[in-house]
C-alpha cells in the first residue's frame, strides 16, 4: 500500500502542467506508467523523460526513484527513529520484512545507517559524474544531471535525463561507465551486506593489522559470502558470454578496441542485473545475447537492497536444493552452515511463483501484441518484472493493454510476487492435516 500511495501521488504530480515541458505529449496514462516505473525503480517509459518533463518534473522523478529505491517505510522509519521514538513489535516485524532484514533489536539504527550510507555513496557518485557532465552540459545542467544519474544508478532505476538513447553515445567514456557500474553494484548487493563488510573490515584491521585476509573472509556472514560469490559469478559469466556473442558484431562492439569491448561487456552485464541503462542498442544485438540478458535479468541482484529480479540468494538456494535432490542428501550446506528446510522451501516457492508470473505476463503481452515476437516480448516482460528497465524498442509502441500488464509486472516485481499474492489471499482457518501417505509417479 505504501508503494501504491507513492505511485498515485507521483502520477498526479507529473501530470501537473508546471512539471511538463511546453511540447510534452504525455497523457495521464503515460505519467502513471512512468510513476510506476520510477517508484518500482525500473526505467521503462512510454514517453521520453527528456522531452516530457522540465526540471521540476525531473525533481519529482528523483524523489519517486529515491523513495521507491529505499522504500517509504525505510525513510519514515529512519525519521521516526531520529526523533527518538521507539518501534512496537508489530512495526519492527513489518519494517524488517519490508527491507528483508532479520534485524529487530537495533532496527531504528539499522534504518538510519541505510540513509547515511545512501547519502554518502550517492554524493560521491554525483561528484565523480560532474567530471563528465559539467564539461558536456555546462555547470548547472551538468550538476543536476550528475545528481539525477547518481540517484537513478544507485537505486537501480535506469532513468537518465540527457536524451532518449541512454548512454549509447558515451559508450567509451570510462568515468561515466565505471562510476555508474559502481553505483549499480553498491545499490544492488543489499544493505545488510554493506554493514557486514564494513563491520568485519574494522575487526580485521584491529585484530590482524590488515595482514590476514583469510581472517576477514572467514568472519563474513554466510549470507554476505553467498551474495558476493553469486554477484561475481553472474557478472563474470555475463561478460564472457556477451563478448563471445558480440565480439565481431559491428553494430554493437565489433569496431571498438579490446579495452572498450571489455568495459562495454561489464557495463551491459551489470546494468542487466537490474539497473536499465544501456551503452548498446538492444535492437541490434544478436538473439543469443537477448537470451543471455533475459537470464541475467531473471537472476537479478542481492536481497534487501535496491535491486530487482529473483535475487542471487534465492537462485543459488534453488540450485543447491536441486543438487541435494540429485545427490539424495538430507541437508543443504553452505560455508560450513546448514540452511534450514523452511528457507529452502521459501526459496523454491518464490522461484516457482516468479517463473509463473513471468510466463503469464509474457503470454498476455503476446496475446495483445502478437506481431512483436515472443523473444522480444519476453525481454520486455522480464525487464519489467525484474525492475530492470531496458527495452528492445518495444515499450512505447505496445498497446494500452500491454502497458497495463507491464505496470502490474513492475509493481509485482518491486514488492515481490509472493508478497502480492499473500496480501490478496486469506489465511486458512483450518489446522494442518496429515493423512496416510501415497505414491505419485514423477519424472
pLDDT digits (tens, 9 = 90+) for 82-98: 666 666 666 666 666 65
Within-domain flag for 266: yes
248's CB contacts (< 8 A; 6+ apart) are: 254
Please indicate, yes or no, if residue 387 is contained in any of the structural domains.
no
pLDDT of residue 112: 80
Cα-based torsion angle of the residue sequence 92, 93, 98, 104 in order, rounded to the nearest 10 degrees = 60
The answer as to whether 344 is a domain residue is: no
> Is residue 320 a part of any domain in this protein?
no
User: In this structure, is residue 51 part of a structural domain?
Assistant: yes
What are the mean pLDDT values of the chain's consecutive 10-residue runs (443 residues total)?
90 95 92 94 89 94 91 68 63 61 63 86 96 95 95 91 88 95 92 85 70 76 92 95 94 94 95 88 90 92 86 93 90 91 90 92 94 90 91 88 95 79 60 80 75
Helix pair 107-137, 89-98: axis angle to 10 deg: 40
- Give me the pLDDT at residue 258, please: 95
CA distance 360 to 363: 5
**pLDDT at residue 83, rounded to an integer:** 67
pLDDT value, residue 375: 87
> Cell numbers 501530470 label which residue?
15
The range of the structural domain enclosing residue 218 comes to: 1-298
Give the global pTM: 0.88
Number of domains in the chain: 1
Domain for residue 439, yes or no? no
- The two counts, helices (H) then strands (E), for the chain are 19, 2
Q: Tell which phi-psi region holds residue 277, choosing left (phi > 0), alpha (psi between -120 and 50) or beta.
A: beta
CA within 13 Å, CB half, 421:
12
pLDDT given for residue 100 in this prediction: 57
Query: 438 in a domain, yes or no?
Result: no
pLDDT reported for residue 29: 95
Q: Exposed, middle or buried, 84 (CB in 10 Å: 0-12/13-18/19+)?
A: exposed
The stretches of 83-160 forming alpha helices (DSSP H) are: 89-98, 107-137, 139-154
In a domain, 234, yes or no: yes
Amino acid at each position: 500500500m505504501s508503494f501504491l500511495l507513492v505511485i498515485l501521488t507521483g502520477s498526479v504530480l507529473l501530470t501537473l502542467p508546471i512539471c511538463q515541458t511546453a511540447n510534452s505529449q504525455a497523457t495521464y496514462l503515460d505519467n502513471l506508467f512512468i510513476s510506476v516505473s520510477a517508484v518500482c525503480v525500473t526505467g521503462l517509459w512510454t514517453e521520453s523523460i527528456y522531452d516530457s518533463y522540465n526540471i521540476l518534473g525531473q525533481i519529482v522523478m528523483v524523489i519517486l526513484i529515491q523513495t521507491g529505491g529505499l522504500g517509504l517505510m525505510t525513510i519514515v522509519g529512519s525519521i521516526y527513529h531520529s526523533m527518538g521514538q521507539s518501534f512496537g513489535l508489530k512495526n519492527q516485524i513489518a519494517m524488517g520484512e519490508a527491507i528483508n532484514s532479520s534485524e529487530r533489536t537495533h532496527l531504528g539504527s539499522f534504518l538510519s545507517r541505510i540513509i547515511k550510507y545512501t547519502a554518502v555513496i550517492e554524493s560521491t557518485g554525483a561528484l565523480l559524474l560532474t567530471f563528465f557532465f559539467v564539461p558536456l552540459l555546462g555547470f548547472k545542467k551538468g550538476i543536476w544531471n550528475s545528481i539525477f544519474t547518481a540517484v537513478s544508478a544507485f537505486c537501480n532505476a535506469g532513468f537518465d535525463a540527457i536524451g532518449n538513447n541512454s548512454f549509447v553515445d558515451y559508450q567509451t567514456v570510462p568515468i561515466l561507465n565505471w562510476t555508474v557500474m559502481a553505483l549499480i553494484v553498491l545499490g544492488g548487493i543489499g544493505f545488510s551486506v554493506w554493514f557486514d563488510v564494513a563491520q568485519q573490515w574494522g575487526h580485521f584491521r584491529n585484530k590482524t593489522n590488515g595482514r590476514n585476509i583469510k581472517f576477514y573472509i572467514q568472519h563474513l556472514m554466510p549470507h554476505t559470502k553467498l551474495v558476493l560469490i553469486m554477484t561475481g559469478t553472474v557478472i563474470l559469466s555475463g561478460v564472457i558470454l556477451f563478448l563471445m556473442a558480440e565480439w565481431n558484431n559491428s553494430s554493437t562492439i565489433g569496431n571498438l578496441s579490446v579495452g572498450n569491448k571489455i568495459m562495454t561487456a561489464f557495463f551491459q552485464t551489470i546494468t542487466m542485473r537490474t539497473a536499465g541503462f544501456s551503452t548498446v542498442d538492444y535492437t541490434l544485438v544478436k538473439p543469443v545475447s537477448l537470451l543471455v540478458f533475459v537470464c541475467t535479468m531473471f537472476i537479478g541482484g542481492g536481497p534487501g537492497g535496491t535491486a530487482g529480479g529473483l535475487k542471487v540468494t534465492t537462485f543459488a538456494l534453488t540450485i543447491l536444493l536441486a543438487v541435494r535432490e540429485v545427490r539424495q542428501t538430507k541437508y543443504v550446506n553452505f560455508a560450513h552452515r546448514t540452511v534450514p528446510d523452511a528457507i529452502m522451501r521459501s526459496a523454491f516457492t518464490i522461484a516457482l511463483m516468479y517463473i509463473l508470473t513471468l510466463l503469464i505476463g509474457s503470454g498476455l503481452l503476446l496475446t495483445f501484441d502478437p506481431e512483436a515476437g515472443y523473444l522480444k516480448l519476453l525481454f520486455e516482460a522480464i525487464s519489467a518484472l525484474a525492475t530492470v528497465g531496458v527495452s528492445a524498442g518495444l515499450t512505447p509502441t505496445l498497446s494500452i493493454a500491454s502497458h497495463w500488464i507491464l505496470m502490474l509486472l513492475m509493481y509485482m516485481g518491486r514488492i515481490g510476487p509472493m508478497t502480492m499474492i499473500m496480501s490478496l489471499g486469506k489465511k486458512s482457518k483450518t489446522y494442518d492435516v496429515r493423512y496416510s501417505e501415497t505414491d505419485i509417479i514423477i519424472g
